[in-house]
Amino acid sequence: MIIVMRRGATPEEIQTVEERVRQEGCLPHTSQGVETVVIGVIGQRTEGMVERMARLPGVEMAIPITKPYKLASKEFRAGPTIIDLDGVKLGSDDVVIMAGPCTVESREQVVTTARGVRAHGAHVLRGGAYKPRSSPYSFQGLGVEGLRLLQEAKEISGLPIITEVMEPGNVGLVAEHADILQIGARNCQNYPLLREVGRISKPVMLKRGPGCTIEEWIMAAEHIMSQGNMQVILCERGIKTFETYTRNTLDLSAVPIVKRLTHLPVIVDPSHGTGKWYLIKSMCQAAIAAGADGVLIEVHPNPDTALCDGAQSLTIENFADCVEGIRRVAEAVGRRVPARELVFA
Ligand code: PEP
Ligand code: MN
What pLDDT sits at residue 173?
Answer: 98
pLDDT averaged over every residue in the chain: 95
Strands 266-268 and 294-298: parallel
Which residues lie with the beta carbon below 6 Å from any ligand 1 atom?
102, 128, 132, 184-186, 207, 237, 272
Stretches in the chain below the pLDDT threshold 70:
33-34, 340-345
In-domain check, residue 340: no
CATH number at residue 260: 3.20.20.70
What is the Cα–Cα distance from 284 to 289, expressed in whole angstroms? 9
Q: Does one domain contain both 202 and 260?
A: yes
Instruction: Tell me: do 59 and 151 sit in the same domain.
Output: no
12 and 160, same domain (yes or no): no
Tell me, what's the pLDDT at 342?
A: 45
pLDDT at 23: 95
Distance from Cα 78 to the centre of ligand 2, integer Å = 34
Going by DSSP bridges, is the β-strand pair 96-100/27-32 parallel, antiparallel, or unpaired? unpaired
Phi, psi of 60, rounded to the nearest 5 degrees: -80, -50
Asked if 270 and 167 sit in the same domain, the reply is yes
Residues 58-90 pLDDT 10s: 999 998 888 889 889 998 888 999 999 999 999
Among 111, 116, 142, smallest CA distance to 128 is for: 142
Q: Decide if 69 is inside a domain.
A: no
Same domain, 54 and 168: no
Distance 102 CA to ligand 2 centre (A): 4
Half-sphere exposure of 214 (CA within 13 A, CB side): 17
Q: Do 50 and 194 share a domain, yes or no? A: no
Residues in a beta bridge with 71: none
Among 113, 165, 212, 269, which residue has the most ligand 1 atoms within 8 Å of its CB, making it the best to mutate? 269
Question: Domain span at residue 133?
Answer: 83-332
Whether 11 maps to a domain, the answer reads yes
- Same domain for 145 and 263, yes or no, is yes
The CA 257 to ligand 2 mean position distance, Å, reads 25
Domain assignment of residue 344, yes or no: no
User: What is the CATH classification number for the domain harbouring 59?
Assistant: 3.30.70.1140
Q: Which atom of ligand 1 is nearest to the CA of 269?
A: 9
Give the pLDDT confidence score for residue 345 in this predicted structure. 36
Whose alpha carbon is nearest atom 6 of ligand 1?
184
Please state the domain count of the chain.
2
Cα(209) to ligand 1 centroid in Å equals: 10
* Spatial CA neighbour of 17 closest among 8, 5, 25, 35: 5
Residue 158 lies in a domain: yes
Tell me, yes or no, whether 168 and 40 share the same domain: no
Name the closest ligand to CA 308. Answer: 2
- Residue 75 domain flag: no
The ligand with the least distance to the CA atom of 313 is 2
